[in-house]
A and B are shown apart, each in its own frame.
Chain A
Amino acid sequence: MKKTQGNYTILVITVENKFGVLARVSGLFSRRGVNIKSLAVAPTDKAEFSRITVDLDIELEGVSLDQIINQLDKLINVVEIRALDPAESVERELMIVTVEAEASQRDELVDHLDKVGGKVLNIGTESMMLSLVETSSVIDDFESFLSGYGIVELQRTGRVALDSL
């Protein structure tokens, strides 16, 4: 069941769309001292179910991933759970970021943004708000590029993923 590549594992959990379910799922990680790197939760095409995408560091010290999966599967509100193989899935993440940018710096910034396929969302006098939908590793790289300008505020959504076709 354990499918990993690189340094992360994606769990995809279909749950009943009810109050308390996220606490039950996240509680199972916290009880074992496992940190969730990122978490995305939203209803699926069926309103009664939500899909939770959990991104975990693979170095789960002394904790078996299979064990976590089996125990999550035992939760009454969990309908389905599986680990996605990063090599056989398509993943995206959204970042929105406000970055310091004087007028003189903006051409270079936008030029780079275009290359990775990002968008300008908002322009202020001394800063710009940008968005980028890409794989987490591309976003990592872009984030470190932006840090040279000075990041004012940043939010990433965490990975979401589907099986490759």
Chain B
Amino acid sequence: MTSENIDGGKALIRSLEKEGVEVMFGLPGGAILPVYDPIIDSTIRHILVRHEQGAGHMAQGYAQATGKPGVAMVTSGPAATNIVTPLCDAYLDSIPLVVITGQVPLAAIGTDAFQECDTTGITMGVTKHNFLVKDAQDIPRIVKEAFHIATTGRPGPVLIDLPKDIVDPNSPRSELDWVDDPEMDLPGYKPEKDIDFSGIEKAVELIQTSERPVFYIGGGILKARAAEALRELVEITGIHVVTTLMARGAFPDSHELCLGMPGMHGNYTAVTSMQKSDLLVALGARFDDRVTGKVDGFAPDAKIIHVDIDPAEIGKVRKPDVAINGDCRLVIEAMVDLLRQQDATQTDRSEWKSTISGWQERFPLTYEDSEPGSRLKPQYVLEQLRDLTPEDTIVASGVGQHQMWTSQYWSFDHPYTWINSGGLGTMGFSIPAAIGAKVGNPDRMVWAVDGDGCFQMTAQELVTSTVENIPIKVALLNNSYLGMVRQWQDMFYEERFSEVFLSDDVPNYKAWAESMGCVGIRVDSPEEVPEAIAKANEIEDRSVVIDFRTAPEERVYPMVPAGKDNSSIVVPPSQESQER
């Protein structure tokens, strides 16, 4: 074996190439400068962002849409702190990321040097793991370990902090013998689980004998690439499915057994079927408070089967009757195998089915059409957008009312078409995430659905989309307010609106979009909506922003008030008289 002497910066880029990295998102600065030099000669496409938070969210969008780990690289200090939000977002939503940060030279660490911060300390609680590299020789191994940790087991973000002197070719500390296939050294990390087959037998027995079962599907199904296996399981058993905010698209909304999204703003049938069920089969879901409502009152009659790759999730919120720790796809496949071997004598569930269809008839998602001359209904805009875009369109949303309406009114029929910030609820997520998704899927249409509050947090990344030629489309549901907060003040603070009004006319979104190299369109009336969407769909060479002027007083319905149990679900006024 010939040994080859290279420097840490080159070793880092070469290690990333060896991991199959095709694209990375970042912004250079002092401490990371030496690593930016070898990028010029690399096969990796680097996308220069306008803010480090954008780099992180782009890497997330890329990872969510492609299933490949997202990679971001930024410098030390403020750049590292700017990327903490995406790290935390990725941690809560289990998104595989590898983030590389520059750090001051080893000898300067702890001296309050320029742009120094304790990056590994700050990010300890928001990463699956992080590394401070102290020896250039460790770089190839640590990069390999970082990708392994980020992508296996329950995926998550991993950070590598690189002191400048171990990557700077002018520093003697940066020299290393290149190792082509370093051996990982992770004695405490065992992501593969032996699946407990006795648990699967018990689960299948419960499924077969239950009268009011519901499959409660979480984002873990998508992480495990288990959408196909799930469909088989659902069709064999004939059991209804709810897909959480993180699992939209994991099971097709158009399927007759799909009940849609449960939770605080879930539809009535999804929420109530869980609440009244006698068996919840939780697959890659974590009983988030936005799904359970008040935990003590959640699905009081339900037995729980909980399947999760992460043992720390099982029993965290609700003690399961059957716990299966393992990869969702493998567990589902084993369930399907076992079900196939058994007699198909199923419990009679005709009464449950008719109860469910009764709820669906009485409590569909609904809204009132806008009065002539008044502002648009956001739900109407989303219905038009859904109907006028290709079926495999990828949708990325920000956080707030528009996020809930998108999840409610879109019809997700393919996995990996819905990208949002579920756990952390990061405003400003959509534009950079949409850009990342588009980078990973250049041939697909990518729409960001954003609110005006969110848009003002990360809109500058539309400059990135223009300069880097990553055309996305933005449906801005502009109601001049921080809409979700307004809704809470409207419903729970006696309409005392505190600090939620943004502005009716500032900024001028059309002009702002145009100044960033995008096409800007403003839409005020319902008749203009289809035309504007059609026009945006035809534009392929640049990003488009449509400023839809929507009604500020519109509420997201249904709603389970915070702290209440799910039987307290508030339905829209037009359904209040319906029999529950």
Q: Which residues of A contact B (CB under 8 A)?
A: 15-16, 19-20, 23-24, 27, 31, 48-49, 64, 66-67, 70-71, 73-80
Residues of A within 8 A of B128 (CB): 76
Q: Smallest CB-CB separation from B313: which chain A residue? A: A70
Please state if B188 and A77 are interface contacts (CB–CB under 8 Å): yes
Please tell me if B177 contacts chain A, counting CB pairs below 8 Å. no
Q: Chain B residues with Cβ under 8 A from A71's Cβ?
A: 312
B507 contacts A by Cβ under 8 Å: no
B223 → A minimal CB distance (Å): 16
- For the complex with contacts A16-B188, A27-B125, A80-B188, 9 further pairs of A-B residues with Cβ separation under 8 Å are A20-B132, A67-B312, A67-B315, A67-B316, A70-B311, A73-B311, A74-B310, A76-B186, A79-B188
In Å, the complex CA distance between A73 and B311 comes to: 9
Residue of B at shortest CB range from A49? Answer: B187
B176-217 with Cβ < 8 A to chain A: 186-189
State the 3 A-B residue pairs at the shortest beta-carbon distance, nearest first. A70-B312, A79-B188, A76-B129
Which residue of the partner chain, among B121, B188, B310, B316, contacts A75 with CB atoms under 8 Å? B188
Nearest residue, chain A, Cβ from B120: A20
A15 to B189, CA, bound (A): 11
Q: For A80, list chain B residues within 8 Å (CB).
A: 188
CA A23 to CA B118, docked complex, whole Å? 13
A15 to B188, CA, bound (A): 8
Residues of B within 8 A of A73 (CB): 311-312
Chain B residues, Cβ within 8 Å of A48? 187
User: CB distance B187 to A23 under 8 Å?
Assistant: no
Q: Which residues of the other chain, A, contact B120 by a CB distance below 8 angstroms? A: 20
Q: Choose among B121, B149, B188 the residue that contacts A23 (Cβ–Cβ < 8 A).
A: B121
Q: Taking the nearest CB of chain B, how far is it from the CB of A101, in angstroms?
A: 43
User: Chain B contact residues (Cβ within 8 angstroms of A): what range?
Assistant: 10 to 19
Distance (whole angstroms) from the CB of A75 to the closest CB of chain B: 7
CA distance in complex: A79, B188 (Å): 4
Enumerate 16 A-B pairs (CB-CB under 8 Å) in ascending A order.
Answer: A15-B188, A20-B132, A23-B121, A24-B124, A27-B125, A49-B187, A66-B315, A71-B312, A73-B312, A74-B310, A76-B149, A76-B186, A76-B188, A76-B189, A77-B188, A79-B188
Mark B289-319 against chain A: 1 for CB-CB distance below 8 A, else 0: 0000000000000000000001110011000
How many A-B residue pairs have C-beta atoms within 8 angstroms? Tell me: 40
Query: Please, how many angstroms separate the alpha-carbon atoms of A19 and B130 in the complex?
Result: 12
In the complex, how many angstroms separate the beta carbon of B101 from the nearest chain A beta carbon? 15
* A2 CB to nearest B CB, Å: 12
Residue of A nearest to B311 (CB): A70
B132: chain A residues within 8 A (beta carbon) = 19-20
Contacts of B310 in A (CB 8 A): 74
Residues of B within 8 A of A74 (CB): 310-312
Interface pair A16/B311, CB less than 8 Å apart = no
Q: Are A23 and B315 in touch, CB under 8 angstroms?
A: no
Set of chain A residues within 8 Å of B124, measured between Cβ atoms:
23-24, 27
Q: Least Cβ distance of A54 to chain B in Å? A: 16
Min Cβ gap A64→B in Å is: 8
User: Which of B125, B149, B312 touches A31 (beta carbons < 8 Å)?
Assistant: B125
Closest to B314 in A: A70
CB of A50, distance to nearest CB on chain B (Å) = 12
- Nearest to A76 among chain B residues (CB) is B129
| Alpha-carbon distance A20/B124, docked complex (angstroms) | 10
Which residues in B have their C-beta under 8 angstroms from that of A49?
187
- In the complex, which of the residues B132, B187, B310 has the most CB atoms of chain A within 10 Å of its own CB atom? B187
Contacts of B187 in A (CB 8 A): 16, 48-49, 79
C-alpha gap A23/B132 in the complex (Å) = 13
* A71–B91 alpha-carbon span in the complex (Å): 14
Contact B188 A78 (CB under 8 A): yes
B49 → A minimal CB distance (Å): 28
Residue in B closest to A28 when the chains form the complex, CB atoms: B125
Report the minimum CB–CB distance from A86 to chain B (whole Å): 24
Contacts of A23 in B (CB 8 A): 121, 124
Compute how far the CA of A27 lies from the CA of B311 in the bound complex, rounded to whole angstroms.
20
Residue interface bits B108-148, CB-to-A below 8 A is 1, else 0: 00000000000011001100110010000000000000000
Chain A: minimal CB distance from B103 (Å): 14
**Closest CB-CB distance, A17 to chain B, in whole Å?**
11
Nearest CB in chain B: distance from A13 CB, A: 10
Q: Which B residues are CB-close (under 8 A) to A75?
A: 129, 188
How long is the Cα–Cα vector from A24 to B125 in the complex, in angstroms?
A: 8
Report the bound CA distance from A57 to B498 in whole Å: 44
Cα distance, A77 to B120, chains bound together (Å): 14
Bound CA–CA A80/B124 (angstroms): 20
> What's the least CB distance linking B131 to chain A, in Å?
9
A60 to chain B, nearest CB (A): 15
Closest to A13 in B: B188
| A102 and B241 alpha carbons, distance in the complex (Å) | 80
State A71–B125 Cα separation when bound (angstroms): 12
Complex: chain A residue closest to B121, CB-CB: A23
Q: Which residues of B contact A19 (CB under 8 A)?
A: 132
